[in-house]
C-alpha cells in the first residue's frame, strides 16, 4: 500500500509533467521533465525525504509557467500532506525561483543563493542536485555560456558549502565539485 508521501510524490510528478509539457532542455530535443526526474532521483540518492523530492519536481514550475505559483499551490493542496510539509515545500520552491525583478543574471543568482540559505535545509540539496544535472547538460553549450556557468557554479559552491555540510549534504556537495571539475576539463579541452 502506498504511503501518503508516495502518493504525494506521484501527484506532484504528474502535475510537473503537465506544467512542463512541450518544453525541452537547451538542446531543443530532450523533454524538460527529464531534468526534474533526474533532480528528484538525485535528491533521493543524497538523503532527501519527500519534502525535498517534491520540491525537486516543482522547482522550475513558477519560472517556466505563466500560472506557475497557482499550479504549485493547487498541486500541493491535492497531496493531503500535513500543513507544515506544504509550507516547507513551498518555501523551498520559492527560494529556488529566480526573482525576475532583479536586473542582471549574476545579481539574480546571488539573490537566489541568499534565499536558499534562508529556506528549509533541503533547498540546499535540491539546488546542488539541480546544478549537477544542469552542468552535465551545459557541455553542449557554447564557450561563453559554459564559461559563465562554471563561474556561477563556483559561486554556488562557495556560498552553499557551509550550509550543505551543516545539513548533512557533504556527499552531494563533493559530487557537485567532481562534476564541476569534469565539465571544467571538458571546457578547456574543447575551447582551448
Q: pLDDT tens digits, residue range 57-115?
A: 999 999 989 899 999 999 999 999 999 999 999 999 999 999 999 999 999 999 999 99
Residue given cell 518555501 in the structure block: 91
Q: pLDDT tens digits, residue range 140-172?
A: 888 899 999 999 999 999 999 999 999 999 999
Residue given cell 529556506 in the structure block: 119
The confidence score (pLDDT) of residue 190 equals 77
Domains plus CATH for the chain?
Answer: 4-191 (1.10.3210.10)
Q: pLDDT tens digits, residue range 165-189?
A: 999 999 999 999 999 999 998 888 7
The confidence score (pLDDT) of residue 139 equals 84
Backbone dihedral region of 21: left (phi > 0), alpha (psi from -120 to 50 degrees) or beta?
Answer: beta
The confidence score (pLDDT) of residue 189 equals 77
Question: 136 and 184 in contact (C-beta within 8 Å)?
Answer: no
Residues paired with 31 in a beta bridge:
24
Q: What's the whole-number average pLDDT of the chain?
A: 95
Amino acid at each position: 500500500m502506498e504511503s501518503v508521501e508516495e502518493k504525494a510524490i506521484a501527484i506532484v510528478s504528474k502535475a510537473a509533467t503537465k506544467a512542463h509539457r512541450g518544453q525541452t532542455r537547451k538542446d531543443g530535443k530532450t523533454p524538460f521533465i527529464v531534468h526534474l526526474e533526474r533532480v528528484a532521483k538525485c535528491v533521493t540518492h543524497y538523503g532527501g525525504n519527500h519534502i525535498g523530492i517534491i520540491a525537486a519536481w516543482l522547482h522550475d514550475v513558477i519560472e517556466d509557467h505563466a500560472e506557475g505559483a497557482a499550479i504549485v499551490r493547487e498541486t500541493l493542496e491535492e497531496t493531503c500532506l500535513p500543513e507544515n510539509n506544504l509550507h516547507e515545500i513551498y518555501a523551498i520552491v520559492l527560494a529556488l525561483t529566480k526573482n525576475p525583478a532583479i536586473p542582471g543574471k549574476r545579481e539574480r543568482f546571488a539573490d537566489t543563493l541568499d534565499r536558499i540559505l534562508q529556506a528549509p535545509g533541503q533547498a540546499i540539496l535540491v539546488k546542488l542536485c539541480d546544478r549537477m544535472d544542469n552542468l552535465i547538460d551545459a557541455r553542449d553549450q557554447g564557450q561563453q555560456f559554459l564559461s559563465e556557468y562554471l563561474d556561477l557554479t563556483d559561486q554556488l559552491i562557495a556560498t552553499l558549502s557551509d550550509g550543505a555540510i551543516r545539513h548533512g549534504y557533504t556527499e552531494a556537495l563533493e559530487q557537485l565539485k567532481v562534476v564541476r571539475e569534469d565539465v571544467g576539463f571538458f571546457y578547456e579541452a574543447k575551447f582551448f
